[in-house]
Amino acid sequence: MIFVKVGAVILITAVIVAAFLTPPPLTAMASGGDASRLFYFHVPMAQVSFLSFMVAAAFAIAYLRTRAAAHDRVAATSAELGMIFSVVAMITGSLWAKQAWGAYWNWDPRQLFLFALVLFYGAFFALRQATVNVEARRRLSAVYLIFGGAISPLLFFVLPRLYRSLHEDANQVVTAAATKPTMSAQVAVVFVTSTIGFLLLYLWLLQLGTAAARIHEEIGMREAKS
Amino acid sequence: MTEIWAIFGKDVRTEYRTRYAVNALFLFALVTLTALSFATGGAGISPLLAAVFFWVILFFSALSSLAQTFVKETETKTELFLKLTAPDDAVFFGKWGFNLLLIVLLEIVLTPLFVVMLNVTMTHWGIWITTLLLGGIGLVSTTTLLGALIAAANVRGALFSVLAFPVLLPLLVTAIRVCEVCLGGRSETATGDAFLVLGAYAVISTTAGWLLFPFVWRD
């Protein structure tokens, strides 16, 4: 665990410094010039938000198989982190989009995916809070996570391709940004470091959040007893 | 198979006696369509806008009544009886069949009304019907599972559309694009791909719904 914590702090600090010291990764005007430094933060955060969704769905499956409360805690915590990461990815993404494409929000397929993810997490927490019975809450929210997880590949992998063929004119802009120019070695090093850094940060927060959820549940149980 | 038919038949009969879901579904769709037709005042609207209108009407009327099949069982306290007498798969597919019947009926009624009241020109009937069929199956599979989930969670109404919207988003986006083509929108080169997406959505949601249903239904 200490490796994860120290690693996350060192790598993310290094990336913050490197992102501002090195030249912007995409220099073309269409990619937003200086704003393209957001690449180092936006892309890893979007990746982590998708990963945390998959982790949550995996632990939801584990919960339905074993009915162990620990699995439910990991799934719920991972979903909470996914919500935070996807909101931050949405904000950084739209700041970058304003510079590169001229508008904060363009309904590009990737934006649609992040938006659906945020809505999904919102619905997930609404469902959890609305269900009073603890056992039912865990079971039903696990079902919802797995169902969402089964649908998500369509949004994440298939729709972007379909959109390109259906949405020719607007996609000129999108494709220009989506086909990344071959990364220089320097950019690649910073990007990979950033991805690992955010991954470690996610693991750290997941461990903290799960522990907090366990304590929260124990306090609730003791209060119910007394 | 006989059990599926039995549950399907029971739902159709009880629905025929009360006509609650049908009334809610059809009147909701009609009211929304009239409001839109009135608001646009018969002025020609773009194919994209018309396709969006159609799916918004279909989506919200479906959500207004499709959860009813399970909520009804809870309200009339017949849920336990159904759990004791019928296997899970039969319950899921019986309810699924009933919901599909409702949606297909709604689509059959809504399409001509839509063409007349919004004054649109349909250029590709075949594509339109295929889209409605594939989209309808995906819509029904998702709402059947989530309807059971809503009934089990004892939360009604508003939460249903909140839960359904994010998972139905790929279906809605794709269906709107194809329907736009049917109403004379852009070229039809990619409808094959869109059918694949709608078909994949229907298969995934039906399989996932069928596999997950026992976990919702049994506590």
3-state secondary structure B66-129: CCHHHHHHHHCCCHHHHHHHCCHHHHHHHHHHHHHHHHHHHHHHHHHHHHHHCCCCCCCHHHHH
Q: Say what the pLDDT of residue A197 is.
A: 85
CB–CB contact A135 B190 (8 Å): no
Distance from CA of B61 to the nearest CA of A (A): 20
CB–CB contact A123 B170 (8 Å): no
Query: pLDDT digit of tens for each residue in chain B (219 aa)?
Result: 788 888 888 888 888 888 877 888 888 888 988 888 888 876 778 888 888 889 999 988 888 877 777 887 887 788 788 888 888 888 899 989 999 999 999 999 988 888 888 878 888 888 889 889 999 999 999 999 998 888 888 776 678 888 899 999 889 988 888 888 888 776 555 677 788 889 999 999 999 999 999 998 887
Q: Say what the pLDDT of residue B209 is.
A: 92
Instruction: State yes or no: pLDDT of A167 exceeds 50.
Output: no
Question: Per-residue pLDDT averaged across A164-174, rounded?
Answer: 43
What residue type is assigned to position B148 of the chain? A
Q: What tens digit of pLDDT does each residue of A71-84 get?
A: 999 999 999 999 99
Exposed/middle/buried for A93, CB within 10 Å: 0-12, 13-18, 19+?
A: buried
The beta-carbon neighbor of B153 closest among A112, A140, A147 is A140
Locate A64 and state its tokens. 């339905």
Q: Say what the pLDDT of residue A169 is.
A: 40
User: Which residue of chain B has the CA closest to A126?
Assistant: B159
- Residues in B touching A171 (Cβ below 8 Å): none
User: Which residue of chain B has the CA closest to A154?
Assistant: B170
CB–CB contact B215 A64 (8 Å): yes
Instruction: State yes or no: pLDDT of A168 exceeds 50.
Output: no
- Residues in A touching B153 (Cβ below 8 Å): 127, 130-131, 136-137, 140
What residue type is assigned to position B143 of the chain? T
Distances from the Cα of A60 to the Cαs of A140, A192, B149, B217, in angstroms?
10, 29, 15, 17
The beta-carbon neighbor of B170 closest among A127, A155, A165 is A155
User: Which stretches of chain B sit within 8 Å of chain A by CB?
Assistant: 142, 145-146, 149, 152-155, 159, 162-163, 165-167, 169-170, 173-174, 177, 186, 189-190, 193-194, 197, 200-201, 204-205, 207-209, 212, 215-216, 219
Residue that is written with structure tokens 């038919």 in the block: B5
Length of chain A measured in residues:
226
CB half-sphere exposure, A27, CA atoms < 13 A: 6
- Residues in B touching A161 (Cβ below 8 Å): 193
The beta-carbon neighbor of A146 closest among B155, B166, B212 is B212
State the Cα torsion A5-A9-A15-A16 to the nearest 10°: 150
The complex's ipTM? 0.88
Instruction: State yes or no: pLDDT of A179 exceeds 70.
Output: no
φ and ψ at residue B155, rounded to 5 degrees:
-120, 130
Helix (H) or strand (E) holding B54: helix B47-65
User: Which residue of chain B has the CA closest to A148?
Assistant: B167
DSSP A120-135: HHHHHHHHHHH--SHH
CA separation for the pair A206, B71 (Å, rounded):
36
Q: Say what the pLDDT of residue B21 is.
A: 78
Residue A204: count of CB within 10 angstroms of its CB: 17
Which residues are CB-neighbours of A113 under 8 A, at least 6 positions away? A155, A156, A159, A160
Residue A14 forms contact with B (CB below 8 Å)? no
DSSP state of A38: G
Locate A128 and state its tokens. 């959890």
> Mutation test of the interface with chain A: which of B141, B144, B169, choosing the one with the most A Cβ atoms within 10 A?
B169
Residue B80: count of CB within 10 angstroms of its CB: 10
Long-range contacts of A195-199 (CB under 8 A, 24+ apart): A195/A43, A195/A44, A195/A47, A196/A7, A196/A11, A197/A7, A197/A8, A197/A10, A197/A11, A197/A12, A197/A14, A197/A15, A197/A44, A198/A12, A198/A44, A198/A45, A198/A47, A198/A48, A198/A85, A199/A44, A199/A48, A199/A51
- Residues in A touching B145 (Cβ below 8 Å): 143, 147
Instruction: Tell which wins on pLDDT, A111 or A210.
Output: A210
- What pLDDT band is residue A171 in, cutting at 50, 70 and 90? very low
Q: What tens digit of pLDDT does each residue of A110-130 get?
A: 778 888 888 999 999 999 888
Instruction: State yes or no: pLDDT of A165 exceeds 90.
Output: no
Residue B201: count of CB within 10 angstroms of its CB: 26
Q: What tens digit of pLDDT does each residue of A183-199 get?
A: 677 777 777 888 888 88
CB–CB contact A144 B197 (8 Å): no
Distances from the Cα of B205 to the Cαs of A20, B135, B183, in angstroms?
45, 11, 27
Between helix A39-66 and helix A109-130 the angle, nearest 10°, is 40
Distance from CA of A149 to the nearest CA of B (A): 9
CA separation for the pair A28, A30 (Å, rounded):
5
> Mutation test of the interface with chain B: which of A114, A129, A165, A166, choosing the one with the most B Cβ atoms within 10 A?
A166
- Residues in B touching A127 (Cβ below 8 Å): 149, 153, 155, 159, 163
Distance from CA of B50 to the nearest CA of A (A): 17
pTM: 0.86
